[in-house]
Structure 1
Amino acid sequence: MDKLSIAGLIVALLAIYLGFSIEGGAIGTLFELPAFIIVVGGTMGAVLLQSSKAQFSHAMSLLPWIFTPPKFDIDKGIDDIVEWAQQARESGYLVLENVAMDVEDRFVNKGLNFLADGIETEQLITSVELDLELYREHSLRSARIFESMGGYSPTIGILGAVLGLIQAMSNLSDPDMLGQGIATAFVATIYGVGFANLIYIPVANKIRAIVHQQTMYREMMAQGLIAISQGENPHAIENRLSAFRLQE
């Protein structure tokens, strides 16, 4: 559980609540269902229009990362690579086929199987680099979906404000309807700007940071697998990969 993400969300919402309350505002006035429907529904519709089904689904599947991000243990990864290098030197590459059966990471699993199959080093390098690049681009496109939400939301909030004012202007003789229209107008603007800057854009940046961290981890594992393919000494491999500890 990422306690920092939870704390950040709580601090942001609490700051808004306290600031509004100190000025004498009633928190209940910030809850307007029509404004919520306009802003959230409009933002979601715009993003669905620009996205493919597969990319949108993938973006939604990354949302749990905000509070439960995947873990990338650099030290364990280095230890695993060194152990696999030692096994390969002692028993041959074929032993890595059994090792691969216990590795859950699809990228590392694929690399180990390539080594067990006796693939040439150049082919291994080409394959892992392509996998890394495609994975990184696919995941960053998913992060950009939330970034797009952050771009659309304020504009649709303004659209909600205009709709609220239209309603208010058409009911000047009815104080209740006039107040409702003005409330929708201002709250829609708050929702548009608030959701963009408190949710959508931070989520996009968080996912982008996790993708970068995961890419660095897999780059380390790829360098280790390539070194094993080249028959390097396990101790030399460990020294080379230790530089990745600085990236944590």
Structure 2
Amino acid sequence: MDFATGLGIILAVISLVLGFTSDGGSITALVQPSAMLIVFGGTLGATMVGTNLKQFAGIVKYLKIAFLTKKRDALDTIDQLVHLATVARREGILALEEEIEQYDDPFLKGGLQLVVDGVDPELVKNMLEIELSAVQERHLTAAHIFESAGGYAPTMGIIGTVMGLVHVLADLSDVTRLGPQIATAFTATLYGVASANIFWLPIATKLKKRDQDEMLIREIMMEGILSIQAGENPNILGQKLRAFLAPSNRTRKVAAKVGDANVETAQS
């Protein structure tokens, strides 16, 4: 689970509420069901208009990705590819067919199966690139939904405030109630701006970060698969794949495992 997402939202909400109440404000003044309905219902409706029903229905799945998906370890992926390169170098490409079943990632399994089937390297590369492009398109579509909601929410807040003011100004018989009613009307603007900047837009940013992390892993996989097909040395492959990572992220038992692979190769 990604605790940063949930903790960040909670921290932002608590900060706003404490800042409001510390000046004497009442929490109950912030709870306005009619404003919530206008802002959140209107935001979801407008977002639905801008996408198709199937994509919109995936919001729950996208939220799970933002809140629950754990970042994959690129070094583990490199270790796996180095191991596969060692097997292919020692026993031949066809030996990878037994190894494939140990992995769950469909991108890795599909690419390795193409190699085992003897598909031309250029065609393997093209097919993997097409799949990468399609995956990224799906990821960015998810982020776009939340970006759209983040754009609509403040506007819905303003609409809710205007509707509230229309209601207030329609009846000025009791001047003493004018102040509280206007304050209530502006709650809609608060909901719209706050939801956009605390929830919708940050979630879109998180999904884009998830996409970047996933693309990095898949680019490492693609390079590893093509290198295995080309028969590259496992040690060289490990060094090349670690070059995808920042220098500070390139070490963590990888060197030892690559060394073990070299020992196995030398012994064979």
The CA RMSD over aligned residues, in Å, is 1.8
- 1:180 positional shift: 7.0
Q: Decide whether the 8 Å contact of 1:171 with 1:177 is kept in 2.
A: no
Letter in 2 for 1:43: T
Separation (CA, whole Å) in 2 of partners of 1:198 and 1:44:
16
The question of 1:97 aligning with 2:97 is answered yes
Q: What letter is aligned with 2:115? A: L
Determine helix, strand or coil for the equivalent of 1:25: coil
Q: Give the TM-score normalised by structure 2.
A: 0.87
Asked whether 1:111 is paired with 2:108, we answer no
Match of 1:232 in 2: 232
Deviation for aligned residue 1:66: 2.5
- Distance of 1:187 and 1:181 partners within structure 2: 10
Give 5+ residue unaligned stretches, structure 2: 250-268
Report what 1:69 is aligned to: 69
Off by >6 Å, runs of 4+ in structure 1: none
The one-letter code matched in structure 2 to 1:71 is: K
> What letter matches 1:97 in structure 2?
E
Q: Equivalent residue for 1:153?
A: 153
Q: Which runs of 5+ in 1 are unaligned?
A: none
Determine whether 1:87 maps to 2:87.
yes
AA aligned opposite 2:100 = A
Q: Deviations over 1:113-138 (max 9, x none)?
A: 11121111101110111111111121
Does the CA-based 8 Å contact 2:161-2:188 persist in structure 1? yes
In the alignment, the residues of structure 1 paired with residue 177 and residue 66 of structure 2 have an alpha-carbon distance, to the nearest angstrom, of 40
Identity %: 38
Give aligned pairs, total.
248
Q: In 2, are the aligned partners of 1:2 and 1:68 still within 8 Å (CA)? A: yes
Match of 2:128 in 1: 128
Using the size of structure 1 for normalisation, the TM-score is 0.93
Residues 132, 215 of structure 2: 8 Å contact kept: yes
Deviation at 1:95, TM superposition (A): 2.4
Partner of 2:216: 216
**Is the 1:121–1:229 contact (alpha carbons within 8 Å) kept by the matching residues of 2?**
yes
Deviates more, 1:113-122 or 1:97-106: 97-106
Q: Aligned with 1:240: secondary structure?
A: helix
Structure 2 match to 1:188 = 188
8 Å contact kept, 2:39–2:188: yes
Q: What is the letter of the counterpart of residue 153 of structure 2?
A: S
SS at match of 1:239: helix
- The letter for the 1-side match of 2:86 is Q
Whole-angstrom distance in 1 between the partners of 2:91 and 2:53? 46
